[in-house]
Every structure is written in C-alpha cells, then in structure tokens.
Structure 1
Amino acid sequence: MSLSATIIPVTPLQQNCTLMWCTETMKGVVIDPGGDVDVILDAVAEIGFEIDKVLLTHGHFDHVGGAMELAERSDTEIFGPHEDDEFITSKVVAGGQKFGIGGGRDVSGNHWLHDGDTVSFGHQTLAVYHTPGHTPGHIVFYSDDAKLAQVGDVLFQGSVGRTDFPRGDFDTLVASITQKLWPLGDDVTFVPGHGPTSTFGAERTHNPYVGDAALKNI
C-alpha cells in the first residue's frame, strides 16, 4: 500500500486536518485546512511531499478557513465540497466571527465535487460520496486501497455530526451514514473532523445514534 496519512489538529476547535500522500510519487493532498497554515506547511515540508490538491469535506469555517491561503502558497487548486454548501463557503469569515475566531477567508474558485466523482494524486485515488445531513453539501473522501475514509463532521467515535445548523437534518444524516458509509465495510478506519479515529465496525457496534442496535429501536 502506497498511501500514508497523518492528522494535524488546527484552529482552537481542534479540527482534524488530514494529510494524505502517495509514498511512491510523494504527491499528496491536504483535507480540511481550517487554519494554522504555517503549521500545516511545516508538517508537509517535514514529510517531504508535494501538495497536489486541497480538498474540503464541507463549508464550515474550522474546516475551510485556511484553504485559500494554502492553495495560493502551494500553487494548487481547491476541490470540494458539493455546491449545496456554497452558502457556507462564501461566508467563512462571518462564520468564524460568530465563534470569535478570525484569520479565515471566504472560499472561491473551488471545484465542486459530486457523488461518484474521484480525486487523484500520485498513484492514489479517492472516491467521493455526497453525505448531506450535517450540511447539505457535505462529502466524504474514501480510499478503497487503504480502507481509509475522511468523513468530516458526518460521524465521530461514539457520536454523529450536529444537525442544528442551517439546512441540517438528522434523518438525512442517518441515511448518509447507513446507506453510504456502512456498505464500505466494517474494517474501514475513518478520520472524523474532530477527535479520535475509529472504524465503521466499531461504530455499528457501539454508536448510540447510528449503531445497529440503536437503529433497531427507531
């Protein structure tokens, strides 16, 4: 397997910015650079890979605030999320200000992604799944070779994403998880937007919101 990955918590909200790179070509991607761009670039330089693309799972400021700066400084382009999140990505600064967090920039010029799309870097390809519920344009990136998914704020260890934001919906979120993520397999490791990694199998067993036992009681 020629895919490697590491997590860098960024912003005061400790959002999981994920670096993935092809160890054969040393080309890689940065997923959800919410801020602390210098920290991200220092980590990339230490690993020694070239940033091929900047990827976004959804539009919230703690996931996208540093995307424009990172793309400019690495001379690359931004891909994602789905265009249903444009009402959020166009107001990143305002979103951060609500939490007293500055320094981010509104996202523009990005390439929208859709269910069934793929993004490639080096010899690696990530599949794109549209997973609304937390936000309407949320997407997930998945490597079948590595059995690794970056799920943004859809799913967490022992929890799920909030659905009280504009255009969020709990039933839609549950459908995204059970219809898009669970079929990928119990052995898939996922990186959430915040907190520790887990596996889909562990969440099906223990998650009180979308675990198999919990869903039987709905």
Structure 2
Amino acid sequence: MKYVIVPVTPFQQNATVLWCEETRRAAVSDPGGDLPLILRVLEREGLTLEKILVTHGHIDHAGGVAELAERFGVPIEGPQREDQFWIDGMPQQSRMFGFPAVKSFTPDRWLAHGDRVSVGNQVLEVIHCPGHTPGHVCFYHAPSRLAIVGDVLFQGSIGRTDFPKGDYDTLIASIRERLLPLGDDVDFIPGHGPMSTFGEERRFNPFVNG
C-alpha cells in the first residue's frame, strides 16, 4: 500500500490518497476540501479513484466528499452510522466555520467495527473509535503496519471531546483498547499534524501513557 498525505482546508487536515500498487486503484480518505490538490496526486501517480473513505463527519474531513463522489461517480464508505447527524449538518458546519458552501451526503456504506474495506487488491480493517465523535472509525492496513486514525489520536495529543456527543473517557478507551494493542511499530496518519507510531504515543503522550 502506497500513500500520499495532502493537507487541506484552513485547518490543514490530512487527507490521504492511498492506493494498491498492483492495480493502481486508489481511495481518498477524508477529502475535506481543496480538491484540486488531491486530484493533482491522483493524476501525477496515474491512479484510478475507486472510492472515498470517511473517518467522521466533521467538515474539515468530509466537506469535499459529496463533490468528489459526484465528480468521479464513486461510492462513499464510512463513517459509522452514529455520525449521521454531523453529516446532515454539513451545510451548517460550512457556515459556522467560514468554509465554502458544501453538500451533505449519504454514505453508500455505513461502516461498523470489524468491517473491511478494499482498495484494489488491498484490504483495510475498520476500527470503530468513538469519543471525538460517536461514529468515528479508523482504518488499519496490517501488511503495511499503517493506520489512518482521523481525530482520535495525534502526536502528543488526542482529539477534542467537547463537541456534541463527544466523550473523553470513551475516547481514551478507544485509544487504549482498540488502537494501541495493534502494536508499538504501527505508524499512524492523524487528522492533523505529523505522523507518529503507537509506541511513541504509548510512551510519551501524556493523555494515554498513564
């Protein structure tokens, strides 16, 4: 599995273009906006977009989903169904945060813990990690030891829990019980900021190393 991280929106959210090297078929995870930047990667690498993956329903992660899906005629997979109220409120989020007007959308496939999603010949595991939002999911590619974790965990920090239906204790449990057990050597792409490993966060992140 190959990938390129594309920071988008004024929030510098990490959209990720990931693809199967055998088939050159790709997915985009969390296309929050600035779609020309994402399309440039697809074109440069000669990739065929086959789906969009969404970790959760916040606008900086999902604001460009509807437009990208319509443009390419590809399905949307994720998040978990509990985030529907966030997706339904996407136009209101755009006004609140000063984003360009965006459309809400209905995923072609709501995801649940233990589901699998495919990108070309590659398969990623779906891990439901509520706390930042109730329907937040992460994606894990075991052969690459790579996880896409959205706003659950950051280098040295964790996602906010002061949004509607956020919960601090639930978020910490998601990290400790569902992400860290994947292994210290797993690299992860957070929703914002630099990559890290679960081992580094286990040792040095003050929110999860207690």
Q: Is TM-score (shorter-chain normalized) higher than 0.5?
A: yes
Deviation sequence 1:158-215 (CA, Å, 0-9, x none)? 000000000000000000000000110000000000000000000001001112xxx2
Structure 2: which 5+ residue stretches go unaligned?
Answer: none
User: Secondary structure at the residue paired with 1:180?
Assistant: helix
Percent identity, please. Answer: 53
**By how many angstroms is 1:109 displaced?**
4.3
Is the CA contact 1:57–1:139 (under 8 Å) kept in the aligned structure 2? yes
Alignment: residue pair count: 210
Question: After superposition, what is the alpha-carbon deviation per residue over 1:117-147, rounded to whole angstroms, capped at 9, x for unaligned?
Answer: 0001211000000000000000000000000
Q: How does 1:6-85 map to 2 (within 5 A)?
A: 6-85=4-83
Give the corresponding residue for 1:170.
168
Letter in 1 for 2:182: L
Q: Specify which of 187, 190, 200 is matched with residue 189 of structure 1.
A: 187
Q: Give the C-alpha shift of residue 59 in structure 1.
A: 0.3
Conserved? CA contact 1:35–1:104, under 8 Å: no
Point out the more displaced range, 85-94 or 98-107: 98-107
With normalisation by structure 1, the TM-score equals 0.94
TM-score (norm: length of structure 2): 0.98
Go from structure 1 to structure 2 and tell me whether the alpha carbon gap of 1:182 and 1:88 turns closer, same or farther (over 3 Å shift). same
Letter aligned with residue 174 of structure 1: I
AA aligned to 1:46 is: R
Q: Distance in 1 between matches of 2:104 and 2:13?
A: 18
- Local SS of the residue matching 2:118: strand
| Aligned counterpart, 2:207 | 209
Where in structure 1 are there 5+ consecutive unaligned residues?
Answer: none
Question: What do the CA deviations read for 1:6-58 (whole angstroms, capped 9, x no partner)?
Answer: 10001111000001101111011100000111221121111111111100000
Aligned-residue Cα RMSD (Å) equals 0.8
